Amino acid sequence: MEHPKKIVFVTGTRADFGKLKSLMQIIQSDSNFELHVFVTGMHMLAKYGYTCEEVEKANFPNIHKFINQNVSDSMDHVLAKSILGLSDYVREINPDMIIVHGDRVEALAGATVGALNNVLTGHIEGGEVSGTIDELIRHAVTKLSHTHFVANSEAQKRLLQLGERSEATHIIGSPDIDVMNSNSLPSLTEVKERYEINYDNYGVVIFHPVTTELDDLKNHIQVLIDALLQSNKNYVVIYPNNDNGSEIIFNAFDRIIDHKNFRVFPSMRFEHFLQLLKSADFMIGNSSAGVREAPHFGVPTINLGTRQNNRVSLPSILNSDFDLSELSQAIQNVDKKKYAQTTIFGDGNSAEKFYEILSDKALWKMPKQKFFVDLD
């Protein structure tokens, strides 16, 4: 490479940073690349723990922080602000590539800015399905991106169905598996001491709003909390994301915020969360962590509602509707044993595969003009 390739990673949440971190680190270690990090979204909100500080503690160079929302903004407003902020930044530093992850509006903003400014854009974990607005955003990001780093062959197949070129799709696994399989996780004792968790046995709860079902959200979160309270078990609860409807969930948390069986946190360091999840009796909610990270550790999941529809089906995942009797029964019967770990999201070497692809000169010569590829 004649000059260092300038790569901007866009991160908007605690979750996507956890997945992007190992990719950023391997890029940072090579002088052929110049790493830049555009930090926005939930990272910049005090209500969610101001997790931009975690990005800064990772000692990445060239961090640019941008506030793209206030708590009352709708998703389309957040998207518009994100595009404006990132567009100015991209025009200022003139990057060779933008890297986005997943299905949040920040990823859509990154792909939009890349496409409209003729900047190569790479999408991490495209081709997934979930059944909510997230899935629509994820597929839109795919169509705006030039190259794709997917978790498995099933995701790759969906990209081909969307008309993407096979040579532009790369299977690297899910990057958070790199962290999950590493020796970098803190001990459970460290995690419990840091967050003052005194439970020997506990479940992990993460419940996000489903933006297409807001009329039912108040009832859904009420049923969940009723079932948790009736179970008389201990729980570690992590705040939802900042999608429309999150305030309804926050209001419902008033019932458990000071309860002896609950510890409620705005956010948690990714590595600490993984260790906590790895040691949990089970996970409950509608987070992707319940159908991806939990199964990798062999931890059983009670998956609620439609948010993860069609995402993945595994023996450790029990699906439940928002019926108090059904949900209470599921909690009482959840199997505390560890299931066999799944490897459908990779084997922990995503960063190395990502680095190998970016080190190939052919990647940087790929056409920026996309065209639709019909299936045979």
| CATH code for the domain in which residue 282 is found | 3.40.50.2000
The answer to the question of residue 81 being in a domain is yes
Q: Examine the domain organization and report whether 176 and 200 are in the same domain.
A: no
Q: Examine the domain organization and report whether 41 and 131 are in the same domain.
A: yes
Instruction: Supply the angle between the helices 14-28 and 350-358 in degrees, to the nearest 10.
Output: 60
The answer to the question of residue 106 being in a domain is yes
pLDDT of residue 324: 97
The answer to the question of residue 124 being in a domain is yes
The answer to the question of residue 375 being in a domain is no
What distance in Å separates the CA atoms of residue 15 and residue 337, rounded to the nearest whole number? 26
pLDDT of residue 311: 67
The answer to the question of residue 340 being in a domain is no
Q: Examine the domain organization and report whether 174 and 209 are in the same domain.
A: no
Q: Examine the domain organization and report whether 144 and 192 are in the same domain.
A: no
8: nearest Cα among 104, 118, 102, 95: 95
CB neighbour list of residue 91: distance below 8 Å, 6 or more residues apart: 117
CB neighbour list of residue 273: distance below 8 Å, 6 or more residues apart: 18, 238
Q: Examine the domain organization and report whether 192 and 168 are in the same domain.
A: no
Q: Examine the domain organization and report whether 16 and 147 are in the same domain.
A: yes
| Domain span holding position 80 | 5-181+347-364
Q: Examine the domain organization and report whether 298 and 193 are in the same domain.
A: yes
Report the predicted TM-score, pTM, of the whole model to 2 decimal places: 0.91
Q: Examine the domain organization and report whether 283 and 148 are in the same domain.
A: no
pLDDT of residue 260: 97
The answer to the question of residue 166 being in a domain is yes
Q: Examine the domain organization and report whether 52 and 197 are in the same domain.
A: no
pLDDT of residue 313: 77
The answer to the question of residue 286 being in a domain is yes
As to burial, measured by CB atoms within 10 angstroms (0-12 exposed, 13-18 middle, 19+ buried), residue 327 is buried
The answer to the question of residue 10 being in a domain is yes
Strand partners for 6: 34
How many independent structural domains does the chain possess? 2
Residue 282's SS3 state is strand
pLDDT of residue 2: 72
Q: Examine the domain organization and report whether 39 and 160 are in the same domain.
A: yes
Strand partners for 260: none
What is the residue-level pLDDT of the chain in tens, covering all 376 positions?
478 999 999 999 988 999 999 999 999 999 999 999 999 999 999 999 999 999 999 999 999 999 999 878 899 999 999 999 999 999 999 999 999 999 999 999 999 999 999 999 999 999 998 778 889 999 999 999 999 999 999 999 999 999 999 999 999 999 999 999 888 899 999 999 999 999 999 999 999 998 888 999 999 999 999 999 999 999 999 999 888 899 999 999 999 999 999 999 999 999 999 999 999 999 999 998 998 899 999 999 999 987 877 666 788 999 999 999 999 999 999 977 778 777 778 778 999 999 999 999 999 999 999 999 999 8
What distance in Å separates the CA atoms of residue 199 and residue 261, rounded to the nearest whole number? 9
Q: Examine the domain organization and report whether 215 and 241 are in the same domain.
A: yes
Q: Examine the domain organization and report whether 17 and 115 are in the same domain.
A: yes
pLDDT of residue 1: 46
